[in-house]
Amino acid sequence: MSASQTERHVGLIGLGTMGSALALNIAEKGFPIAVWNRTVQVTRDFHAKAGGLAAMITPTETLAALVAAIRPPRAIILMVPAGQAVDDQLAALAPLLGPADLVIDAGNANFHDTNRRNAAELPFHFMGLGVSGGEEGARHGPAIMAGGAFEDWASVEPMLHAIAARSDDGTPCAAYLGPEGAGHFVKAVHNGIEYADMQMIAEVYGVMRDGLNMAAPEIGDTFARWNDGVLRSYLVEISGIVAKAHDRLSDGPLLDVILDAAGQKGTGRWTVIEAQNLAAPIPVIEAAVHARNVSARLAERAAGQAVFGPVEAGGADLSTEDLEHALIAGKILCYAQGFSMMSAAGTEFGWDLDMPAIARVWRAGCIIRSAMLNDMAEALAEDAGRNLILAHFFANHLRRSVPALRKVVATGALHGLACPALASGLAWFDMMRTARGTANMIQAQRDFFGLHGFKRLDGRDLPHGPWAEA
Ligand SMILES: NC(=O)c1ccc[n+]([C@@H]2O[C@H](COP(=O)([O-])OP(=O)(O)OC[C@H]3O[C@@H](n4cnc5c(N)ncnc54)[C@H](OP(=O)(O)O)[C@@H]3O)[C@@H](O)[C@H]2O)c1
């Protein structure tokens, strides 16, 4: 009997934020699980606090004991930091596991590492799993993006479907997306989009705060209102909650006392680097990653303000409806870029990524879950190869919302209110709707200094300018 026909018995390594929540989720769904953590006391504390689920969980204090506690064929989930820790654990498991066992890397691995591990002669099966939704998702239902051999996915599908989030129509948000590192690749793009969604929300927050002089609670009410409409999403919902939060120490809005410097851990950056490798434009995500890097340069920004003066507060001639529509347009443009990049990757790597399935997986459990993903799944099911902005439904949305995006970006530029992600989305859109662009000038320049040649519109056979004859 092959492993795919057999129910695997489950173990988990790494009882940090994500691992402990995932272990409890697995136990709660009726799958007995053995766990091990590098620091033994963490395992003991975890088991002691597992309450009614403790009986489903076998705590172990060595890696050998973990393996011995799981009946073969095993599925051992790794929830440790991406990179060397994963390679170390794979090396440590190698002498302990059999050829029918499966190790699942459920951390945020770089998909190139997952490709490498899939190609390596590991003495067990291996698959890379993208898991999104933070601690809450891991505990009660994450979105799961699987890559690797289909048989390996099939052998753990019942468990992964059981622990995954469910969309409104009851579909589990866990899917097999393709071979090798396809799952981790899609998770990285998800995280890139997450950066962009958050950045665009931060930009409209900034316009409301600095351009319209709105107080944080009022901004919170605005986000809450938007969350009842087209923008309905987890990120808009929590933005409303955090904007309305009160800080008891300062007795004012919490947002007003939080340092404006955001870090970035890697997946956003990986997405941007990979987009460049694929020549797949994702300028909204790039702007969001840049914005986090700029935000971290606090001293330089303070020096800049000292030299050039602060932005003048108030006076922006915009309504919150303009901002809502600008955000709708920005979101559509950002997702169109993200799906287009995944399409390019599918072709480049021979993965045949299932675009509607990706949109469906993101509908619940993950940080970027939103009502709009239902419509995106439908549009991609109609034609996965067509850019999302050309789908009838989204083209109509853009016709209605792009004028507001233009107004917000232009007003931001005039008032010095930085909106890099929204502006990047608009510039990309304008390029994408211009049949006769400006690269003819670039081609002529390249021919002038390097005799690179150019294609002519009239089809005639003279691929150089007059400078070639000099
Ligand atoms: N946090 C999130 O929202 C989130 C969401 C999606 C994906 N992820 C990914 O999930 C993975 C785990 O993240 P986390 O937030 O749960 O991290 P975490 O809370 O810092 O926990 C890390 C776990 O890994 C163990 N560990 C660290 N280095 C190790 C090593 N060299 N060998 C063996 N075990 C080691 C730690 O054990 P000790 O107790 O001994 O330190 C701990 O159990 C990461 O890849 C992360 O990027 C996180």
Angle CA 426–201–416, to nearest 5? 65
Cα(102)–Cα(121) distance, integer angstroms: 13
40 within domain boundaries: yes
The tokens describing 435, both together, are: 């049949």
- 458 and 379 in one domain? no
Q: How many CB atoms lie within 10 A of CB 42?
A: 18
Contact 220, 244 (CB under 8 A): yes
Residue 146, beta-bridge partner list:
129, 176
- 238 and 304 in one domain? yes
16 lines ligand 1 (CB under 6 A): yes
- Ligand 1 centroid to residue 386 C-alpha, Å: 38
Q: CA-CA distances (angstroms) from residue 463 to 442, 445, 452, 456, 457?
A: 14, 13, 9, 7, 11
188 lines ligand 1 (CB under 6 A): no
Is the pLDDT at 2 greater than 50? The verdict is no
Is 194 one of the catalytic residues? yes
Q: How confident is the model at residue 192 (pLDDT cuts 50, 70, 90)?
A: very high
Q: Environment class of residue 371 by beta-carbon count within 10 Å: exposed (0-12), middle (13-18) or buried (19+)?
A: middle
Region 313-319: what's the mean pLDDT?
A: 94
Q: How confident is the model at residue 7 (pLDDT cuts 50, 70, 90)?
A: confident
Cα(344)–Cα(425) distance, integer angstroms: 19
Q: CA-CA distances (angstroms) from residue 12 to 7, 80, 268, 444?
A: 16, 10, 27, 59
145 SS3 class: strand
137 lines ligand 1 (CB under 6 A): no
- 412 and 452 in one domain? no
Rounded mean pLDDT of the chain?
96
Q: How confident is the model at residue 143 (pLDDT cuts 50, 70, 90)?
A: very high
End-to-end CA gap in the chain: 76
Contact 337, 285 (CB under 8 A): yes
131 within domain boundaries: yes
- Ligand 1 centroid to residue 65 C-alpha, Å: 21
pLDDT in tens, 397-413: 999 999 999 999 999 99
pLDDT in tens, 254-293: 999 999 999 877 889 999 999 999 999 999 999 999 999 9
- 80 and 213 in one domain? no
216 lines ligand 1 (CB under 6 A): no
Q: How confident is the model at residue 50 (pLDDT cuts 50, 70, 90)?
A: very high
Q: How confident is the model at residue 4 (pLDDT cuts 50, 70, 90)?
A: very low
Is the pLDDT at 1 greater than 50? The verdict is no
Contact 201, 235 (CB under 8 A): yes
25 within domain boundaries: yes
21 within domain boundaries: yes
- 153 and 110 in one domain? yes
Set 187, 244, 331, 407: catalytic member: 187
pLDDT in tens, 334-347: 999 999 999 999 99
Closest CA to 132 of 151, 115, 146: 146
Domain boundary among 180, 198, 224: 180
437 within domain boundaries: no
Q: Count CA atoms closer than 13 A to 413's CA, side-chain side.
A: 11
Q: How confident is the model at residue 446 (pLDDT cuts 50, 70, 90)?
A: very high
- 409 and 275 in one domain? yes
Domain boundary among 162, 180, 198: 180
Domain span at 458: 442-469
DSSP string, 354-406: -HHHHHHHTTSSSTT-BTHHHHHHHHHHH-TTS-GGGSHHHHHHHHHHHHHHH
- 318 and 213 in one domain? yes
Atom of ligand 1 nearest to the CA of 42: 39
Domain boundary among 163, 180, 197: 180
- Kindly report the protein residue whose alpha carbon is nearest to atom 4 of ligand 1: 134
The DSSP bridge pattern shows strands 74-78 and 9-13 to be parallel
- 120 and 35 in one domain? yes
- 337 and 196 in one domain? yes
Give residue 361's identity as a one-letter amino acid code. V
Q: Environment class of residue 229 by beta-carbon count within 10 Å: exposed (0-12), middle (13-18) or buried (19+)?
A: exposed
Q: CA-CA distances (angstroms) from residue 71 to 4, 5, 76, 164, 329?
A: 15, 15, 11, 24, 52
Set 49, 61, 194, 378: catalytic member: 194
- Kindly report the protein residue whose alpha carbon is nearest to atom 29 of ligand 1: 85
203 within domain boundaries: yes
- 342 and 272 in one domain? yes
pLDDT in tens, 76-111: 999 999 999 999 999 999 999 999 999 999 999 999
110 lines ligand 1 (CB under 6 A): no
Cα(213)–Cα(225) distance, integer angstroms: 18
- 340 and 418 in one domain? yes
Contact 367, 134 (CB under 8 A): yes
Task: Say what the pLDDT of residue 57 is.
Answer: 98
Atom of ligand 1 nearest to the CA of 267: 47
Is the pLDDT at 313 greater than 90? The verdict is no
Atom of ligand 1 nearest to the CA of 132: 6
CATH classification at residue 126: 3.40.50.720
The tokens describing 148, both together, are: 């690797």
Is the pLDDT at 55 greater than 80? The verdict is yes
CATH classification at residue 287: 1.10.1040.10
Q: How confident is the model at residue 3 (pLDDT cuts 50, 70, 90)?
A: very low
Is the pLDDT at 5 greater than 50? The verdict is no
Count up the domains in the chain and report the number: 3
Look at the block and give the residue holding tokens 């172990």: 60
- Ligand 1 centroid to residue 136 C-alpha, Å: 15
Region 8-15: what's the mean pLDDT?
A: 97
- Kindly report the protein residue whose alpha carbon is nearest to atom 30 of ligand 1: 85
Q: CA-CA distances (angstroms) from residue 328 to 117, 192, 398, 426, 436?
A: 39, 18, 8, 12, 27
Residue 127, beta-bridge partner list:
104
- Ligand 1 centroid to residue 383 C-alpha, Å: 38
Look at the block and give the residue holding tokens 């993950």: 366
Is 187 one of the catalytic residues? yes
- 129 and 83 in one domain? yes
137 within domain boundaries: yes
Q: What is the pTM of this model?
A: 0.95
